[in-house]
Amino acid sequence: MAWSWRLEKAGGEVAGTSEETFSTQADAESWLGENWRGLKGDGIDKVVLVDGDRTVYPMSLDEPA
């Protein structure tokens, strides 16, 4: 399967998916680690890791308090 990130704005509005797809979960997570600040700056509040059609986990882009 192909791993990717679903991008969501406040309130759960879907804003698209990551421009790249990844062959492994680790590659997808590394990409997010490098790009989350830019996504947050673009108004993305939450990302959801998906593997094909399967939802793996959601993650907030808010910085911890």
Each residue's pLDDT tens digit in the chain (65 positions)?
Answer: 799 999 999 888 999 999 999 999 999 999 999 999 999 999 999 999 999 999 999 999 987 76
pTM assigned to the model: 0.90
Distance from CA of residue 2 to its chain's centroid?
14
Give pLDDT, residue 1: 76
Identify the residue whose tokens are 């759960």.
12
What residue segments make up the domains of the chain, in order of their start?
Answer: 3-60
DSSP string, 1-65: --EEEEEE-GGG-EEEE-S--BSSHHHHHHHHHHHHHHHHHTT--EEEEEETTEEEEEEE-SPP-
Residues in the chain: 65
Q: Give phi and psi for 19, each to the nearest 5.
A: -65, -25
